[in-house]
Amino acid sequence: MGPKFSREGTIDRDVPHAGQCSTWYGVVGTPSPTNPPLILAHGGPGAGHSYLVYLSYLHTHYGIPLIFYDQLGCGRSTHLPHKAGDESFWTVDLFISELDDLIDFFELRDSGFYFYGQSWGGMLGGAWASRRPLGLRKLVLADAPASVPLMGIGVQGLVAQLPEGVRKALEEADREGDWESDEYKEACMVFYKRHVCRLEEWPECLEISLRELEEDPTVYGTMYGPSELTVTGNLKEWEGFSQAHKIDVETLLINGRYDEVQDISVAPWFHAIPKVKWIQLEKSSHMGHLEQPERYMRVIAAFLGSEKALQEVAHAA
């Protein structure tokens, strides 16, 4: 069951080379200058907000207002399937522009806001925060690689630990360029169960986002590739940490011990960002908010300054 939105709607905007498009948003709680909202950016790219709905706990338990949104090309926002493969259109700058429009729509520049990005959403957030956007108070980069090539090295190390038959299916698919076979998809699922979400039964919210990715792979296929294990899109050489020294707000890094985003690809954020803290969840992979939700939410809420969360952290210690 999804969160109860206090406000929901779309932001209409003219997108170069695409015309009139809309970005869906849903607000939980009532943001104010004394209680600024946390903007939540989903991963994928193209996964939609559904798998992040558990983060509504940040409002129900800690009183933090939230702004969910679906990025262009997925979820309840405008889909552009005719743009599949158009790497000049689907760019990081496109999504930074969308994010800036969202912030201006809610008139948050003066009152301020926090930002949380998970996976690709964190990549986007890191690149955007390096431009020092007006109004940003704190930044959370969750399960977000600072470098796609370094993430690939980490993933190769995890693949090396898979059963031999699974490894061979992945290698054959890459060799043949055939990523549609059942064997390849089954092999990917073995990896996902270890390094994307380790829960025995995946929550419906995650299943919804995965279905949406499968039904419209336009953005994911163009920017990333056929799966988490094979990067063919225009993010293949992306390295966001090169500008991360310009990030001038307090930043929290989160990843899981079993995360497909291994430490090798998180460390560059840690070394480049001046005011930074890094927490790793011992029992999590890529979906710590689903795998260890209470600790995950408490860590974020405490970082954002929630007195209740800070007391819980002190009590837990």
Question: Hey, what are 176's tokens?
Answer: 């043949």
Residue 164 domain-assigned? Answer: yes
Res 1: pLDDT: 53
Q: What three-state secondary structure class fits 203?
A: coil
Where does residue 77 fall: left (phi above 0), alpha (psi -120 to 50 degrees), or beta otherwise?
beta
Give a yes or no: residue 36 inside a domain: yes
Residue 136: CATH number of its domain:
3.40.50.1820
- Does any domain span residue 51? yes
Of the candidates 294, 271, 275, 273, which has an alpha carbon nearest to the alpha carbon of residue 284? 294
Tell me which residue range forms the domain holding 115. Answer: 7-316
Mean pLDDT of the chain: 96
pTM for the predicted model, two decimal places: 0.96
Has residue 226 been placed in a domain?
yes
**Is 259 tagged catalytic?**
yes
Length of the chain: 317
Is 32 marked active-site? no
CA gap 128, 135 in Å, rounded: 12
Tell which residue, 204, 203, 208, 223, has the closest CA to residue 76.
208
Please count the other Cβ atoms lying within 10 Å of the Cβ belonging to residue 57.
Answer: 20
How does pLDDT run across 156-175, given as a tens digit for each residue?
999 999 999 999 999 988 88
Residue 225 included in any domain:
yes
Tell me if residue 284 is catalytic.
no
The pLDDT value given to residue 223: 98
> How many domains is the chain built from?
1
Among residues 59, 259, 265, 285, which one is catalytic? 259
2 within domain boundaries: no
Q: Which of 59, 79, 286, 289 is catalytic?
A: 286
Residue 175 confidence (pLDDT): 87
Per-residue model confidence as pLDDT tens digits over 130-144: 999 999 999 999 999
Residue 61 covered by a domain: yes
Residue of 119, 227, 265, 306 marked active site = 119
**Which ranges of the chain have pLDDT less than 50?**
none
Determine, yes or no, domain membership for 1: no
